[in-house]
Amino acid sequence: MQSISAVDRFAVALESLTAREREVVRWLGGGKTNSEVAIINGISENTVKHYVTEIFNKLAVSNRTQLVRRLTEHEARGPVYNTQVY
């Protein structure tokens, strides 16, 4: 049995995100703050914080820098899965 790479695990984890979580990831990847994401999406900042926590848990990252780095690695690898978030 072949081991799944960290990049592949990340791609699979991206598939588990809801449509709203993917939208939040897109804005976070673009450098938006929680407050800005809330205004753009017409939701509360607390709701954005909830989404960010869920995203970090699902993608096994602990901060925005890790998230952006992992997204960049994923995008550089190419569309192995249908997981494009941008």
Per domain, the residue ranges of the chain are 18-77
Smallest CA-to-CA distance from 38 within 27, 22, 30 is with 27
- In terms of CATH architecture, what is 18-77? Orthogonal Bundle (1.10)
Phi, psi torsion values for 16, nearest 5 degrees: -80, -10
User: Which of 44, 45, 66 lies closest to 55, judged by CA?
Assistant: 66
Q: Which pTM was predicted?
A: 0.79
Tens digit of each residue's pLDDT (9 = 90 or more) over 3-58 = 566 667 888 899 999 999 999 999 999 999 999 999 999 999 999 999 999 999 99
Write the DSSP string, 15-39. Answer: HTS-HHHHHHHHHHHTT--HHHHHH
